[in-house]
Homo-oligomer: A and B are copies of this chain.
Amino acid sequence: MYNDIDLAALAEVCENAWDAFLVFKRTQVSQRALLMRTIATALEETGDELIAVAMKETNLPEARLRAERGRTIFQLLQYADACEKGDWLEIRIDTAIPDKNPPKPDIRKMLVPLGPVAVFGASNFPFAYSTAGGDTACALAAGCPVIVKAHPAHEETSTIVAQAIQKAVEKCGMPKNIFTHVYGKSFEVGKALVTNHRIKAVGFTGSYGGGKQLFDWANQRPEPIPVFAEMGSVNPVFILNEKLEHEYATVAQQYAGSITLGVGQFCTNPGLLFATKSPGLDEFKLALATAIKEINPGTMLHTGIAKAYASKREVALSQPSVSLVAESSTAPNEGQGQPTVATVSGEQFLANPLLHQEVFGPYSLLVECNDTNQMLQIARQLEGQLTATIMGTEADLKSNINLIEAVKNICGRIILNGVPTGVEVCLSMHHGGPFPSTTDARFTSVGADGIKRFARPLSFQNWPNSLLPEALKNENPLHMWRTVNNQLTQSAM
């Protein structure tokens, strides 16, 4: 429907974004916050049309899409507040000590924007992690122009959202090239974007293969740039003995729901369950099987994803010693994903790295460990994850301290007695994790701390008050929290 941008035009887009950066970086945080709120309003105004188009392109249900647009608007508003409040600027001021030997100069530090950011949205979140999603919101808050490459699976949806953003940019009197929307189904467009010298950072949500490729291109540039790629995760769940024995029925219900939520197409979908062999585990398996059988197959995002699910599920089920626990009683139609739980022993799991990999869809593997030692051994060998979950009673937790510590080492969020699906948009959320779940464990893609991905510190030494940025002036005209001579304060100096 849309033609790929040609590479000469793309290079011009990047130059224009750079020119826009020179203006945009000098805007006040209040102006950027206003822009983000105006985008939120414009997104609200896309009304039923956007939902209808997104339903057609993504197969996601209407209620889910309306909720996701609501979340996207909420994100923009929340990050706008955070942008304006300015805690993210990490302001540090040390005043001069002229009679020190040698004299100590006045030094003031704050974060400044990196430059134009390339954003590659997600197929599974057409709004919240796409065109006007978290990456775009954070980059604009930081003062960075954004170039979004429309996701090939929902280009029309992306176009409508991009138009809403462009309308808001115009309304706010901002340089139009702080936001550009380009099309590119081909490999070449993505590569040209990431390797263009005007691009200073990359945001990505998608597969390991895609994210790692962008990361490699970015690091091989003459000037390497940061890539924030969220690349998926199997989100292991460790169900401890007493919990299993006492609450197997509740846990089974909870997890049957979490595994199949949104046809298993969330990055926090629990793909691995660990428990030790016991009568409790047998009961849990039965209860989980009963629950899974009753859940109907759902239509996946597009046929390519459904086909990939069917084939990866097949491969996983055909591994040595893997056996089916249950699948939905209703057979899937074309394009649907069939809820499935399989099981394998701890030994086999340790021996077969393929079993550690994500099967994107409503699939989970229950690993039956011989004992808690084996569970610990597995936790110590697992790859990096967005989340990990411990299901345990107080007694379980007390007797599994080493396990909990091992689990902390491999994840960005550790959940107790809950499910990993559901990513709250708030400052305390860390949606990130050790490689390979992301390419940079130090930054989050959800919550206002994500703004810091697109900024770097700059120190001003010996500048007179009148020439400093507003955030650094003595009077503290923006009423920000600042660390002045090692003390956090909101006062003027």
Q: Is the CB of B418 within 8 A of A462?
A: yes
- Does the CB pair A428–B459 fall under 8 Å? yes
A315 on the B face (CB < 8 A)? no
Q: Are A416 and B461 in contact (CB under 8 A)?
A: yes
The answer to whether B458 and A408 touch across the interface, beta carbons within 8 angstroms, is yes
A431 to chain B, nearest CB (A): 8
Choice from B394, B436, B444, B458 contacting A413 with Cβ under 8 Å: B458
Chain B residues whose C-beta falls within 8 Å of the C-beta of A26 in the assembled complex: 405
- Structural contact, B462 and A428, CB atoms closer than 8 A: no
Interfacial chain B residues near A102, Cβ < 8 Å: 422
A90 in complex: contacting residue of B414, B449, B462, B467, CB < 8 Å: B449
Among A430-462, those with CB < 8 Å from B are: 430, 432, 434-436, 439-442, 444, 447, 449, 452, 455-462
Q: Check A429–B224 contact: CB distance below 8 A.
A: no
Evaluate contact between B427 and A456: CB separation under 8 angstroms: no
A107 touches B429 (CB 8 A): yes
User: Are A432 and B457 interface neighbours, CB within 8 A?
Assistant: yes
Query: Is there a chain B Cβ closer than 8 Å to A412's Cβ?
Result: yes
Question: What separation, in Å, do the CA atoms of A48 and B53 have in the docked complex?
Answer: 77
- Whether A483 and B427, one on each chain, are in contact in the complex, defined by CB atoms closer than 8 angstroms, is yes
Question: Is A417 an interface position by the 8 A CB rule?
Answer: yes
**How far is the CB of A68 from the nearest CB of chain B, in Å?**
14
Nearest CB in chain B: distance from A221 CB, A: 9
Is there an interface contact between B408 and A112, defined as CB atoms closer than 8 Å? yes
How long is the Cα–Cα vector from A486 to B79 in the complex, in angstroms?
12
User: Would B430 and A458 count as touching, CB distance under 8 A?
Assistant: yes
Q: Judging by beta carbons under 8 Å apart, are B397 and A467 in contact?
A: yes
Smallest distance from the beta carbon of A427 to chain B beta carbons, Å?
A: 4
How far in angstroms is the closest Cβ of chain B from A426? 5
Q: Please, which residue of chain B has its CB at the minimum distance from the CB of A406? A: B22
Distance in angstroms between the alpha carbons of A32 and B215 in the assembled complex: 35
Q: A424 to B105, Cβ gap below 8 A?
A: yes
- The interface bits of chain A over 99-123 (1 if a CB of B lies within 8 angstroms of the residue's CB, else 0) are 0001011011100101100000000
Size class of the A contact interface (CB-based, 8 Å): 35 or more
CB contacts (< 8 Å) of A104 on chain B: these are 424, 426
A262 CB to nearest chain B CB (Å) = 13
In the assembly, what is the distance between CA of A25 and CA of B406, in Å?
11
Q: Is A93 interfacial (CB 8 A cutoff)?
A: yes
* In the complex, chain B residues whose CB is within 8 Å of the CB of A429: 94, 107, 109, 459
Give A3-41 as 1s and 0s: 1 = Cβ < 8 Å from B's Cβ atoms: 000000000000000000010011000000000000000
A2 interfacial by beta-carbon distance below 8 Å:
no
B488-A488 in contact (CB<8A): yes
CA gap between A40 and B460 in the complex, in Å: 30
Task: Compute how far the CA of A223 lies from the CA of B409 in the bound complex, rounded to whole angstroms.
Answer: 14
Q: A87 contacts the other chain (Cβ, under 8 Å)?
A: yes
Residues of B within 8 A of A483 (CB): 87, 427
Asked if B418 contacts A430 (CB within 8 A), the reply is no
Q: In the complex, A137 Cα to B459 Cα: how many Å?
A: 22
B428 & A92 in contact (Cβ 8 Å cutoff) = yes
The answer on a CB contact under 8 Å between B112 and A223 is no
Is A169 positioned at the interface, with any CB of B under 8 Å from its CB? no
* Contact present for A223 and B92 (CB under 8 Å): no
Query: Assuming A415-B462, A427-B486, what are 18 further A-B pairs, CB within 8 angstroms?
Result: A87-B488, A90-B449, A92-B427, A93-B428, A107-B413, A107-B424, A219-B219, A226-B440, A413-B459, A413-B460, A413-B461, A414-B459, A414-B463, A418-B462, A428-B459, A429-B459, A430-B458, A442-B455
A–B Cβ pairs within 8 angstroms, 18 of them: A87-B488, A92-B428, A92-B449, A93-B428, A102-B422, A104-B426, A109-B427, A109-B428, A223-B435, A223-B436, A224-B439, A408-B458, A412-B459, A413-B458, A416-B462, A416-B464, A442-B452, A444-B457
Task: Enumerate the 5 nearest inter-chain pairs by beta-carbon distance, A residue then B residue, closest first.
Answer: A430-B459, A92-B428, A413-B459, A107-B428, A430-B457
